[in-house]
Chain A
Amino acid sequence: MKALVIEITNWSTGERAGGITLKEIREGGLTTPHPSHQQLDWMPRGDYELRVVNDERDLDGYEGSIELADGTTISDPTKLTHEDHVEDVNGVLVLESNSEIETFIEAGFSPRPVVNGVSVQEAGEWLEEQGHDVPEDLYHVFAKAVEKGMTGVRMEDPAPLG
């Protein structure tokens, strides 16, 4: 299996790096294995996604780089390890094997808040009632509510490659 790691340059237009078009995505030429394999604009890292290549496209022209939390930048995804923490992606990178895809999933995506009937407003009010500061953004409100023991919300790791 081969996949692309794609920078989303504008969520409002759906524009992606590397000239990848919305038509290609809408028609299923590139698909995400699981919704947790997208770093969305309300999540803490950069805007990027992993999409499996389902068509016969030429993969040679794609170029990109990965910014890691320790400040280093790599352009060869085979150099990525499970211990790395991806902060952002620029351009488009090609993952050539299941092993490379699994490594990127582990290093590249944040746990997502999964709520069970709890709104972000309720999570914020609960934090206030408990005497905690309320973070400004949705992601960290939920994350802090989980950390402080609120019921009805939990963090879920990205799904492994199925």
Chain B
Amino acid sequence: MPRLCDPPLAPTPPDLSIHLIEGRRRRYGICNIYSFGDVIKKAASPNSLPWGIGGNSSTIRHIGRSPNEIYQLSYQDFSIIQKSSFSGTDPTGIGGDRNTIWDCGLYYYSGSFSYTYLEQRSATDFSVVQSTTRSSGHGYGIGGNASSVWYVENPPSKVYELSSADLSVTRSVSSPTPSPFGIGGDSNTIWYIDNSTSKVYELSTADFSVIQSAAGPGQTMRGVGGDSSTIWDSRYDNSTGLHEVYDLATG
């Protein structure tokens, strides 16, 4: 049975159907019915080759390669609210908040990695607002909010804070795990996934150290994002074709 926070923030709602329970947990202060990383709800991704996912508690942005499309999804049931073809090649990450979109992807020339592109896109029509490239590594995840941008490369396995003004590097450090595949959050929170450990992590915004970790929803996680009260996660399993998006508990 869920228990109330002490003191409760508001009366317990009468109906605790599972698909609304997390939202009501946030709204009414029912706490700790889930542990960090538990699956609250899930659905099939609208893309058969999903990659990045991010946003905040009321906005989900998602990106995939088959077809190359960018989406806004409903935070209630993951249905498509808006979608558009995506102009970039091999997209890997997306994040931001209600009014801000950050994305990244890989560009190959004659079969060889050439550079990672990093972009800010319009939250209205998904057009490119600003763009830059990095040839130093493969960018696999980007997220944050209007003022904070978190980014991971793999290889080399590094975590970055980028400037929201021009996407230049503010600071960086070796990643805490061997194979980072996604990052997101907000100014005070970092969610991070690793493809080799198959775990979801909370990292410190101060030093990128691990604060807590938990097993993710299976292997082959592709993207993560959200805000301090929400974790969105995406997954694609190459062997089974499983393509799903998740709402995970923040603990």
A residues apposed to B, CB below 8 Å:
11-14, 22, 25-28, 31-38, 40-42, 49, 51, 112-117, 119-120, 138, 142, 156, 159
Contact = CB atoms under 8 A, between A and B. Distances in A.
B213 A11 contact: yes
Given A11-B213, A26-B205, A35-B174, 17 more contacts: A11-B210, A12-B36, A12-B212, A12-B251, A14-B211, A25-B211, A35-B173, A35-B208, A40-B210, A41-B213, A42-B177, A114-B174, A115-B157, A115-B179, A115-B196, A119-B179, A119-B196
Between B37, B210, B213, the greatest number of chain A beta carbons within 10 A of the residue's beta carbon is seen for B210
A152 B23 CA distance: 44
In the complex, the 10 A-B pairs of residues with the closest C-beta atoms, listed nearest first = A14-B212, A28-B206, A35-B176, A32-B209, A31-B207, A116-B155, A120-B196, A12-B214, A11-B213, A115-B178
A112 B157 CA distance: 12
B178 A40 contact: no
A114 B179 CA distance: 8
Contact of B37 (A12, A51, A115, A142): A12
Contact of B212 (A11, A34, A113, A120): A11
A36 B176 CA distance: 7
Interface in B80-99: none
B204 A26 contact: yes
A35 B207 CA distance: 8
B25 to A, nearest CB: 16
B209 A35 contact: yes
A13 to B, nearest CB: 6
Contact of A38 (B176, B195, B206): B176
A131 to B, nearest CB: 23
Interface string B131-168: 00000001000000000000000111100000000000
29 contacts: A11-B212, A12-B35, A12-B213, A14-B36, A14-B211, A22-B211, A22-B212, A25-B204, A27-B206, A28-B204, A31-B207, A32-B209, A33-B207, A34-B174, A35-B174, A35-B175, A35-B210, A37-B209, A38-B209, A38-B210, A40-B177, A114-B157, A114-B174, A115-B154, A115-B196, A119-B196, A120-B196, A138-B197, A156-B174
B178 A112 contact: yes
Given A26-B204, A26-B211, A142 B178 contact: yes
A137 to B, nearest CB: 10
Interface of B: 35-37, 138, 154-157, 173-179, 188, 195-197, 199, 202, 204-214, 251
Given A13-B35, A112-B178, A119-B196, A40 B157 contact: no
Given A26-B188, A114-B178, A138-B197, A13 B204 contact: no
Between B35, B175, B197, B206, the greatest number of chain A beta carbons within 10 A of the residue's beta carbon is seen for B206
A14 B177 CA distance: 17
A44 to B, nearest CB: 14
B202 A14 contact: yes
Contacts of A49: 209-210
B204 A31 contact: yes
A59 to B, nearest CB: 20
A138 B210 CA distance: 18
Contacts of A27: 206
